[in-house]
C-alpha cells in the first residue's frame, strides 16, 4: 500500500521547554509510535536557539508541527492534544 | 510634566500636525479603509527613518509579499533593495493561511515574537511596522488566544524601545475591524478616502494622541510620485506679515486708478465679470508685469491650455512666450474635475513651493465649483490665499459671474484686498466693457466706471464721457470726443470725466 511505504518527515518548533511544548512533543511521539512506527523522523527546533529558522517555515505560533514530507507542507499548531485532529491534519490513516 | 518624546516621521506635513512626529518608543495605530494609503504611510515612515534619521526599521507585512512591496513603492523613488543591503531596513513577510493550518490545543504566538526580535536585532531597528496585523484574525481560529497575545505584543513593543506603526482595516463599528484600538491607545491616525461628486479626496485625521497637542481637523493629503504629503492648512491665523510695497497691474491706465501705483505686494486681487469681459487678459497683463520685474509668476489655468492663452494674448500685443522660456512664467493647466478640491489645493501648494513665485494667478476659480460645494470651494480658496499670503505671494483670481448668481465672488471677495468688476454694457446696439473698482483696502482708488478697451495694442481703461447726454461709452464716446475736438465750444456742456478727481481712502 502506498501509504505504508511513505516516509514522514516531521518538524516541531518550540521556544524553550515550556509545558505546552513538552506536551506537544510527548503527544506527537505517542501518535507516531502508534501509527507510523519506523516511518518517521521528528526534528525539534528550538527557536530560542535558532531564531533565524522561524522565517523559513513561516512560524508564528508555538508549538507548531510542520509536516515537511510527504508534500504538501502541513502545519498544526497547539499542544496536539486532540489525536484525531492531528491525524487528519497530517493526513495519517489510523491503524486501528 | 515631562513632554513625551517624539519620533519624526519625515513625511511632509505630518510632523507639523503632530507637533513633532509620532510618540517615540510607543505604538501608533494607523487605520482606514482599503486603498487609503496605510501601507504607504507606514513604508514612508520606515524609509524616511532609515534615510533621514539614521533609524533602521523593520517592516513586517502580513499582506503583501516582500517583492510586491518593493515593486509597489519603487514608483515613489524608494529603493528598498538598497536599504536592505545596507542593513537599514528589513522586510519580513508573514504568511498566514487558514487552509494550511490545523489548530489543536493550547498555543501562543511566541514564534512571532521571536521573529520580530530576530529582525530587530539583525539591523538594530528603532522603528517597526506591522502591516496589517489584523490578517492574523483571518488565519487563526482561537480569537481568545490571539487577543491575549496581541495585548502582550503591544506591551512587548513598548519595552523594546521601538517606535511602531500598526495598521488596521477600518471596521463597521469601531475604528478597526477587530478592535485593535483597544490595545494601541497612545496615538491613533485615521485615513479616509472618499468620493464626492465622482472625485476622490484623501483625508487624514489624528483621532487621539495621548500626552500631546495635535491638530484635530481633517487634513487633506496627497500621494504622488514623491510619496505622502499632508497639508497643514487650518492654522488660519491672521498674523501674516504685510508689505506696503506697491506693484504695477501691468496696465498703466489701471495703475492710474490705484493712485498711479497699483496693487499692494502680497495682497489678494479678485477680478470678476461676465463671460468675455477680458478677465484673463487683465490677469495675463499682471503676469507679464511680474515677469518684467524679473520676478516669477505661476499661472494656474482651469479653462484654457497654456498654448491657447499665449496665442490669444498675442492678439492684444502681449507676448508671454519669452517669459515662459526664461522660466519666469510657469503655466499649469488642468481641468478642475481632474481631482478633488483638496488635491488641487495640495498640488498647487506643492508647485508653488517648488517654483517660488511672487505672483500666483488662478483663472478662473469659478470652474472649481464644478468639483465641490460652494462652501467647500470657499474654504479651500481661503486656505490657499492664506498659505500664499503667508509667504508674501500676491494672488490674483478671476471669477466668472453669471447673470443670476454672484455668490462665488461675493463670498470670496471678503478675503480679497482688491476687487475689480468688469461688466458688459449693451447700449445703442453695441456691447462695451466697463470696469470699476469695487474695493481696494488700504489705498485710495478711483470710484469711477471706466470703459475697458481691448485693442490689438493692448488693454486700456478709458474715461467714459460724462455730459448732459449722460454717460457715453463705446462708439458714442468716440463720436462725442471727436465732436468736442472739432468744436471746443461744446466743452462747456460736457467734459471728460478725467477732470473729476475723486479719491477716497
Q: Is residue A3 part of a domain?
A: no
Q: What is the CATH number of the domain that holds A16?
A: 3.40.30
Phi, psi angle pair for B334, to nearest 5°: -150, 150
Digitized pLDDT (tens) for each residue of chain B, 505 residues in all: 567 888 888 887 888 888 888 999 989 999 888 888 888 899 999 999 999 999 999 999 988 888 888 888 888 888 888 888 998 999 989 888 877 888 888 888 888 899 999 999 999 999 999 988 888 888 888 888 888 888 898 889 889 889 999 998 887 777 777 777 777 778 899 998 887 666 677 888 888 888 888 877 788 787 877 778 777 554 445 566 778 889 999 888 889 888 888 899 888 899 988 888 888 999 999 999 999 999 999 999 988 899 999 999 999 988 999 999 999 999 998 887 777 777 788 788 888 888 999 999 998 888 777 766 777 777 778 778 877 887 889 999 988 887 554 555 566 777 788 889 888 888 778 888 888 888 888 888 888 888 888 888 888 888 887 777 777 778 888 888 888 778 766 554 544 545 444 555 4
Contact predicate B394/B401, CB 8 Å: no
Please identify which residue in the block is written with the cell numbers 526580535. Answer: B117
Name beta bridge partners: B443. Answer: none
Record the pTM: 0.70
Listed residue (B127, B54, B134) closest to B90, CA to CA:
B127
DSSP H or E stretch at residue B163 = strand B163-169
A24–B109 C-beta distance less than 8 A: no
Q: Is residue A95 part of a domain?
A: no
Question: Which positions in chain B touch A52 (Cβ < 8 Å)?
Answer: 118
pLDDT tens-digit map of A43-74: 999 999 988 888 888 888 899 999 887 878 88
pLDDT score, position B288? 92
Chain A residue with Cα closest to B107: A78
Name beta bridge partners: B129. Answer: B59, B165
Please identify which residue in the block is written with the cell numbers 517583492. Answer: B67
pLDDT score, position B289? 92
**Which of B110, B142, B150 would you mutate first to test chain A, the one with the most A CBs within 10 A?**
B110
Q: Is residue A22 part of a domain?
A: yes
pLDDT score, position A82? 84
At CB < 8 A and 24+ separation, what contacts does A15-21 make? Answer: A15/A46, A15/A47, A15/A48, A15/A62, A15/B110, A15/B111, A15/B114, A16/A46, A16/A48, A18/A62, A20/A62, A20/A63, A20/A78, A20/A79, A20/B105, A20/B106, A20/B107, A20/B108, A21/A62, A21/A63, A21/A79
**Cell numbers at B69, concatenated:** 512591496
A62–B109 C-beta distance less than 8 A: yes
A78–B105 C-beta distance less than 8 A: yes
Query: What sign has the CA pseudo-torsion B254, B256, B258, B263?
Result: positive
What average pLDDT does range A69-89 have in this prediction? 84
**Which of A19, A61, A89 would you mutate first to test chain B, the one with the most B CBs within 10 A?**
A61
Strands B297-301 and B359-363: parallel
Question: Which positions in chain A touch B137 (Cβ < 8 Å)?
Answer: none
Tally of domains in chain A: 1
Query: With an 8 Å Cβ cutoff, is A74 touching chain B?
Result: yes
Provide ipTM, 2 decimals. 0.88
pLDDT tens-digit map of B238-262: 566 778 889 999 888 889 888 888 8
B115–A79 C-beta distance less than 8 A: no
B102–A80 C-beta distance less than 8 A: no
The proportion of chain A whose per-residue pLDDT surpasses 70, expressed as a percent, equals 93
The whole domain housing A51 covers 8-61+70-90
Q: Is residue A40 part of a domain?
A: yes
Q: Is residue A80 part of a domain?
A: yes
* Packed helices B38-52 and B66-74: angle between N→C axes, nearest 10 degrees: 80
Q: Is residue A81 part of a domain?
A: yes
Whether the bond between B95 and the residue before it is cis, its omega within 30 degrees of 0, is no
pLDDT score, position B310? 92
Query: What sign has the CA pseudo-torsion A48, A54, A56, A61?
Result: positive
At CB < 8 A and 24+ separation, what contacts does B473-476 make? Answer: B473/B425, B473/B427, B473/B432, B473/B434, B474/B425, B474/B427, B474/B428, B474/B430, B474/B432, B475/B428, B475/B430, B476/B427, B476/B428
Q: Is residue A42 part of a domain?
A: yes
Listed residue (B162, B200, B165) closest to B56, CA to CA:
B162
Segment 11-70 of chain A within 8 Å of chain B by CB: 13, 15, 20, 23-24, 47-48, 51-52, 54-55, 58-64
Please identify which residue in the block is written with the cell numbers 478697451. Answer: B453
Q: Is residue A1 part of a domain?
A: no
Query: With an 8 Å Cβ cutoff, is A75 touching chain B?
Result: yes
Amino acid at each position: 500500500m502506498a501509504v505504508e511505504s511513505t516516509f514522514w518527515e516531521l518538524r516541531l518548533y518550540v521556544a524553550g521547554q515550556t509545558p505546552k511544548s513538552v506536551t506537544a512533543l510527548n503527544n506527537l511521539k505517542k501518535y507516531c509510535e502508534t501509527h507510523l512506527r519506523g516511518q518517521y523522523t521528528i526534528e525539534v527546533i528550538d527557536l530560542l536557539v535558532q531564531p533565524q529558522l522561524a522565517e523559513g517555515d513561516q512560524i508564528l505560533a508555538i508549538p507548531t508541527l510542520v509536516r515537511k514530507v510527504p508534500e504538501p507542507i502541513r502545519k498544526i499548531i497547539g499542544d496536539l492534544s486532540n489525536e484525531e485532529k492531528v491525524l487528519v491534519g497530517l493526513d495519517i490513516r489510523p491503524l486501528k | 510634566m515631562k513632554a513625551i518624546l517624539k519620533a519624526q516621521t519625515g513625511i511632509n506635513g505630518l510632523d507639523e500636525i503632530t507637533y513633532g512626529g509620532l510618540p517615540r518608543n510607543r505604538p501608533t495605530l494607523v487605520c482606514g479603509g482599503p486603498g487609503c494609503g496605510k501601507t504607504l504611510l507606514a513604508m514612508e515612515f520606515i524609509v524616511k527613518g532609515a534615510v533621514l534619521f539614521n533609524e533602521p526599521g523593520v517592516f513586517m507585512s502580513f499582506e503583501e509579499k516582500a517583492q510586491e512591496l518593493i515593486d509597489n513603492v519603487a514608483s515613489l523613488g524608494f529603493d528598498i533593495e538598497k536599504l536592505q543591503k545596507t542593513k537599514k531596513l528589513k522586510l519580513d513577510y508573514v504568511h498566514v493561511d487558514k487552509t494550511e493550518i490545523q489548530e489543536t490545543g493550547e498555543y501562543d504566538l511566541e514564534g512571532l515574537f521571536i521573529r520580530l526580535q530576530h529582525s530587530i536585532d539583525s539591523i538594530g531597528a528603532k522603528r517597526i511596522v506591522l502591516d496589517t496585523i489584523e490578517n492574523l484574525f483571518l488565519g487563526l481560529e482561537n480569537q481568545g488566544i490571539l487577543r491575549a497575545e496581541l495585548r502582550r505584543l503591544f506591551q512587548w513593543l513598548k519595552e523594546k524601545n521601538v517606535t511602531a506603526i500598526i495598521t488596521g482595516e477600518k471596521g463597521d463599528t469601531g475604528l478597526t475591524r477587530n478592535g485593535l484600538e483597544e490595545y494601541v491607545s497612545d496615538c491613533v491616525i485615521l485615513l479616509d478616502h472618499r468620493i464626492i461628486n465622482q472625485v476622490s479626496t484623501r483625508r487624514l485625521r489624528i483621532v487621539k494622541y495621548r500626552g500631546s497637542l495635535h491638530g484635530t481637523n481633517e487634513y487633506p493629503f496627497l500621494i504622488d510620485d514623491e510619496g505622502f504629503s499632508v497639508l497643514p492648512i487650518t492654522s488660519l491665523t491672521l498674523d501674516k506679515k504685510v508689505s506696503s510695497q506697491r506693484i504695477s497691474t501691468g496696465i498703466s491706465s489701471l495703475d492710474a486708478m490705484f493712485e498711479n501705483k497699483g496693487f499692494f505686494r502680497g495682497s489678494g486681487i479678485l477680478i470678476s465679470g461676465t463671460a468675455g469681459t477680458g478677465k484673463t487678459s487683465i490677469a495675463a497683463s499682471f503676469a507679464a508685469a511680474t515677469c518684467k520685474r524679473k520676478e516669477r509668476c505661476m499661472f494656474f489655468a482651469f479653462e484654457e491650455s497654456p498654448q491657447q492663452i499665449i496665442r490669444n494674448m498675442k492678439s492684444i500685443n502681449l507676448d508671454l512666450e519669452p517669459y515662459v522660456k526664461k522660466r519666469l512664467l510657469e503655466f499649469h493647466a488642468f481641468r478642475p474635475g481632474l481631482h478633488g478640491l483638496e488635491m488641487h489645493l495640495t498640488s498647487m501648494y506643492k508647485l508653488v513651493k517648488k517654483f517660488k513665485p511672487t505672483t500666483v494667478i488662478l483663472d478662473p476659480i469659478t470652474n472649481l465649483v464644478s468639483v465641490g460645494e460652494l462652501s467647500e470651494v470657499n474654504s479651500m480658496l481661503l486656505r490657499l490665499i492664506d498659505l500664499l499670503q503667508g509667504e508674501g505671494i500676491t494672488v490674483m483670481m478671476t471669477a466668472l459671474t453669471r447673470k443670476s448668481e454672484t455668490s462665488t465672488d461675493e463670498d470670496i471677495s471678503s478675503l480679497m484686498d482688491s476687487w475689480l468688476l468688469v461688466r458688459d454694457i449693451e447700449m445703442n446696439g453695441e456691447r462695451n466693457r466697463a470696469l470699476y473698482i469695487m474695493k481696494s483696502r488700504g489705498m485710495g482708488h478711483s470710484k469711477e466706471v471706466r470703459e475697458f478697451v481691448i485693442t490689438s495694442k493692448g488693454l486700456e481703461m478709458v474715461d467714459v464721457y460724462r455730459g448732459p447726454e449722460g454717460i457715453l461709452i463705446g462708439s458714442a464716446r468716440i463720436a462725442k470726443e471727436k465732436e468736442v475736438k472739432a468744436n471746443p465750444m461744446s466743452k462747456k456742456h460736457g467734459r471728460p470725466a478725467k477732470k473729476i478727481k475723486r479719491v477716497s481712502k
